[in-house]
Amino acid sequence: MNFKIQKKMKNSLGRAGVLETIHGLIETPAFVAVGTKATVKSLNPEQIKDVGTQVVLGNTYHLYLQPGDEVVRDAGGIGKFMNWQGPTMTDSGGFQVFSLGVAYGKDISKITKITDPSLMIPERFDDSDAPRLAKIGQDGVSFKSHLDGSIHYITPEKSIQIQHNLGADIIFAFDECTSPVEDLKYQEEALARTHAWARRCLVEHHKLGSDQALFGIVQGGRDKNLRQKSSKVISSMNFDGFGIGGSFAKEDMSSAVKWVNEILPEEKPRHLLGIGEPEDLFMGIENGVDLFDCVLPTRLGRNGTIYTKHGKIIITNAKYRNDFEPIEKDCGCYTCQNYSHAYVAHLFHGKEMLAGTLASIHNLYFIVNLVKKIRQSILDDNFFEYKKGFLGTYLKKD
Amino acid sequence: MNFKIQKKMKNSLGRAGVLETIHGLIETPAFVAVGTKATVKSLNPEQIKDVGTQVVLGNTYHLYLQPGDEVVRDAGGIGKFMNWQGPTMTDSGGFQVFSLGVAYGKDISKITKITDPSLMIPERFDDSDAPRLAKIGQDGVSFKSHLDGSIHYITPEKSIQIQHNLGADIIFAFDECTSPVEDLKYQEEALARTHAWARRCLVEHHKLGSDQALFGIVQGGRDKNLRQKSSKVISSMNFDGFGIGGSFAKEDMSSAVKWVNEILPEEKPRHLLGIGEPEDLFMGIENGVDLFDCVLPTRLGRNGTIYTKHGKIIITNAKYRNDFEPIEKDCGCYTCQNYSHAYVAHLFHGKEMLAGTLASIHNLYFIVNLVKKIRQSILDDNFFEYKKGFLGTYLKKD
């Protein structure tokens, strides 16, 4: 893997570059399409490519359980299995530790809006909580499969073995993603685990041998000292690039990303894991992020929530039933080129499968191409103008 | 609309021809893809076309309720609404009268296997039956919407008005589809209604004016006299073509089709409504049918049942989890060209939307191209050889 920076922003950490992988180039900043189970939900690879996607990310946890990483290996790896010829990534399963563990059954995700003060009370040691499907030890994590209840034990070594079987171009070290509501003591303990696991992942990766690139993941929650410490520790290891992990309170995210990217070595690529919304993409890029992935374009699309430059719309609203204009007249996506609000709305009302496909195509096109336009604005030295213009329209309340 | 017969089979009613519609040619015999709600479930128009589909059929009843025929009219008609540029058809809603009425809540469909002798007892006048959502009178049918319970009244005139709004190239007269278990007295009454309604449809069609082609529907259940009578009566009216309607016991179907097509004028096209399986397609074509439509390729596909030349397979069977060969090695469809049993099976196990799409593409390709090959066998004078070869493999039990 090779990473070249083409242009750096003045007075900020942002940059545009090109990441060379075994399966092709990725122009960065880039938005990575999420294909959890070796499929970007409701889209085929031609549709994924047509919207401008450069790289697809599968989820290690999901593919390990179904169809099994050995099936994917025997199929020739995730790309060949799903018929995607471009670059691929797999995450490490660390986020699933979080979402099946401490976050299970709660309203905590990649971005948590901390409005309820009671949420800020450390609750790690209260075992009367909602049931958890994952338990974290020093050596690894025991999972209960969400599919059949079977018990699995994932160590850093196991995560790397699985990811070698999945065969993506870029893989990630096994980490522990913590909740923003954890106390400092727990964050410190978790971070020590993440760092120890990172070392073990590197050892296993080199032991197995592979031309896959391995990214280490920086954690540290919302604490500046821990984020800085993690950046230094993970930077000191021989990773090919870095992930920035965590479940963020939205207001914490930009400072956390900045703390980290001020320390991470400039010459290696950085991936902000599981983010984001348009405003998060501008924030991340301004603060030196090269790669993003997020389920939102397809998840929102399947639910009938559609990105437009004037903000998100709910396509099932009554006013769209008789609207024969495309969702966005000047949008170049397949959906806007061929269908009306009324048709897409009809498909949602009729619970037709094509509904999710058409909405996902538009949403993924919207986000992938937003990142491409932001990239171009860096090359053109007008990032801040572009940001102001886009967000001024996008975030404006009617 | 113009229909030309290119070649007739010797010693049978079969023929190959070309049907010219406003939106293009249909080489017959042809299999019509069913797009109930102005979408062939899980496929976009490019995929519909890629499998070889020449014409798409929408359902009047469904489109009348959702999004409403006036929305489709305002969108420019069903073809423009759904972005399908080829020929289109709409059925009359008559089959829905049947499936929401006498057949509602029972295991009776287009093809009924009469194994239970009690099913043969006339039961029309037993009102203690399962609830019915449709009631038939001389003037028309009152429906209860399956969507919101609202009451609708469809007359022959109303059916034609709706179909004019939907704007398909070929539309059908409003008929009453009867169950094969009805007694002769009821079949006679229903047939008289169908004939009276056919006349009223023609009157309304000419009154409204349109370049759409109107097909009349022959009914008559399993009774030879009634089928022959209906063929004569409907033939005597000025229809552009004919539908052959009915809910058939499988063993009755070939004789019913033959009775009808021996009488229908040779120079007009004939559509066997809602049929069929591969063996039904051979039977129908041999007996002079030009057009077929059926939901099975996409319905079976969504359920993981896949056509192969060795019969249908259930893709979720355990043996396919590690089968990295295509579903059919020599199949030219998108699914077989790009994916393995293992990948399609994985998508079904994972309940992924792409599962239904890939299976539907294969199934529709299989059936559409089977009819194309049968057509070619007529042109090549080897229909019976081709039939024997295909069905010998397809129907063979392991």
B179 DSSP β-pair partners = none
State yes or no: is B91 an active-site residue. yes
Q: What percent of chain A has pLDDT over 70?
A: 91
The ipTM is 0.94
Q: How far is residue B285's CA from residue B30's CA, in Å, rounded to a whole number? A: 10
State yes or no: is A252 an active-site residue. no
Which tokens is A128 given?
């009367």
In total, chain A counts a number of residues equal to 398
Alpha helices, DSSP H only, in chain A? Answer: 45-50, 60-65, 69-74, 78-82, 94-100, 156-166, 184-208, 224-235, 250-261, 278-286, 296-302, 334-338, 341-349, 353-379, 383-394
pLDDT at B37 (0 to 100): 97
Angle at B166 between CA B164 and CA B169, to 5 degrees: 75
Across residues A277-285, what is the average pLDDT?
97
Q: How far is residue B386's CA from residue A394's CA, in Å, rounded to a whole number? A: 61
pLDDT tens digits for range A164-197: 999 999 999 999 988 777 789 989 999 999 999 9
The reply to whether residue B83 touches residue A343, judged by beta carbons under 8 angstroms, is yes
pLDDT tens digits for range A234-248: 999 999 999 999 887
> Hey, is the C-beta of A35 within 8 angstroms of any chain B C-beta?
no
The DSSP code sequence of A91-147 is --SHHHHHHHTTTTTSS--SEE----GGGGS--TT-TTSS--SEEE-SS-EEEE-TT
pLDDT tens digits for range B350-385: 999 999 999 999 999 999 999 999 999 999 999 999
Q: In which band, very low, low, confident or very high, does the pLDDT at B183 lie, cut at 50, 70 and 90? A: confident
Task: Name which of B353, B357, B360 to mutate to probe chain A: the one with the most chain A Cβ atoms within 10 A of its Cβ.
Answer: B353
> Hey, is the C-beta of B12 within 8 angstroms of any chain A C-beta?
no
Which tokens is B48 given?
């519909």
Q: How far is residue B119's CA from residue B108's CA, in Å, rounded to a whole number? A: 10
> Are the CB atoms for B73 and B58 separated by under 8 Å?
no
pLDDT at B130 (0 to 100): 44
The reply to whether residue B352 touches residue A44, judged by beta carbons under 8 angstroms, is no
Helix, strand, or coil (residue B41):
coil
End-to-end distance of chain B based on CA atoms, in angstroms?
46
pLDDT at A278 (0 to 100): 97
pLDDT of A15 > 80? The answer is: yes
Listed in sequence order, the residues at least 6 apart from B243 whose beta carbon sits closer than 8 Å to its beta carbon are: B172, B173, B175, B215, B216, B217, B218, B270, B271, B272, B273
> Hey, is the C-beta of A263 within 8 angstroms of any chain B C-beta?
no
Pairing of strands B241-244, B248-249: unpaired
pLDDT tens digits for range B30-85: 999 999 999 999 999 999 999 999 999 999 999 999 999 999 999 999 999 999 99
Q: How far is residue B132's CA from residue A396's CA, in Å, rounded to a whole number? A: 51
The reply to whether residue A343 touches residue B37, judged by beta carbons under 8 angstroms, is no
Q: How far is residue B362's CA from residue B126's CA, in Å, rounded to a whole number? A: 43
pLDDT at A90 (0 to 100): 98
Which tokens is B95 given?
């089959």
Residues in chain B with CB shorter than 8 Å from the CB of A41 are 352-354
Q: How far is residue A179's CA from residue A346's CA, in Å, rounded to a whole number? A: 40
> Are the CB atoms for B194 and B230 separated by under 8 Å?
yes
Q: How far is residue A271's CA from residue B104's CA, in Å, rounded to a whole number? A: 56
Mean pLDDT of all residues belonging to chain B: 91
pLDDT of A38 > 50? The answer is: yes
Helix, strand, or coil (residue B28):
strand
Domains and CATH numbers, chain A: 2-294 (3.20.20.105), 309-394 (no CATH)
Place of tokens 């993981």: B304
Q: Report whether the peptide linkage leading into residue B269 is cis, meaning its omega lies within 30 degrees of zero.
A: no
> Are the CB atoms for B371 and B30 separated by under 8 Å?
yes
Across residues B180-197, what is the average pLDDT?
90
Helix, strand, or coil (residue A290):
coil
Which has the higher per-residue pLDDT, B221 or B69?
B69
Q: How far is B340 from chain A (nearest CA, A)?
A: 8
A-B contacts at Cβ under 8 angstroms? 105
Across residues B253-260, what is the average pLDDT?
95
Q: In which band, very low, low, confident or very high, does the pLDDT at A133 lie, cut at 50, 70 and 90? A: confident
pLDDT at B147 (0 to 100): 86
pLDDT at B129 (0 to 100): 47
Residue A349 C-beta-side C-alpha neighbours within 13 Å: 22
Which tokens is B153 given?
């009244």
Across A1-5, A143-147, B23-27, B320-324, least confident range: A143-147
> Are the CB atoms for A57 and A90 separated by under 8 Å?
yes
Query: Which listed residue (A211, A223, A293, A398) is catalytic?
Result: A293
Residue at B158: amino acid letter: K
